[in-house]
């Protein structure tokens, strides 16, 4: 809240957090795909094909699938968080902020 024209008001949420979320998920996906066995496991578990992934890379459902995949295997979540220099909880919390 802040004072504007003598009245308390609440700032509207900007698009910046959503853009940050998308950027972070895409970085996590790039990390995930950087290892061939891990990438294949992701494709197998999600049912995506390489072409399907290319077609839906910006879709919220693909972002959610990326985070679900990482959160389902703690070693991957921890390694991704370390590589991306974010707390593991940040990646895990993104999952709940993506509207499907």
Residue 18 placed within a domain: no
Residue 14 placed within a domain: no
Lowest mean pLDDT among 24-28, 36-40, 92-96: 92-96
Residue 97 placed within a domain: yes
Taking CA atoms, 75 is separated from 48, 49, 82, 99, in Å, by 22, 24, 11, 26
Domain count, the chain: 1
Domain that holds residue 57: 29-100
Lowest mean pLDDT among 9-18, 26-35, 40-49, 52-61: 9-18
Residue 6 has pLDDT above 70, yes or no: no
Residue 34 has pLDDT above 70, yes or no: yes
DSSP 12: P
Residue 33 has pLDDT above 80, yes or no: yes
Residue 85 has pLDDT above 70, yes or no: yes
Residue 20 placed within a domain: no
How far, rounded to the nearest angstrom, does the alpha carbon of residue 16 sit from its chain's CA centroid? Answer: 14
């Amino acid at each position: 809240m802040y004072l504007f024209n003598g009245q308390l008001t609440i700032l509207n949420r900007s698009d910046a957090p959503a853009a940050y979320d998308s950027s972070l998920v895409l970085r996590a996906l790039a990390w995930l795909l950087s290892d061939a066995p891990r990438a294949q496991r992701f494709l197998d578990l999600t049912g995506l094909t390489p072409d399907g992934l290319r077609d839906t890379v910006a879709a919220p459902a693909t972002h959610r699938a990326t985070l679900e995949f990482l959160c389902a295997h703690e070693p991957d979540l921890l390694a991704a968080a370390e590589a991306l220099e974010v707390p593991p909880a940040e990646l895990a919390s993104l999952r709940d902020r993506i509207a499907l």
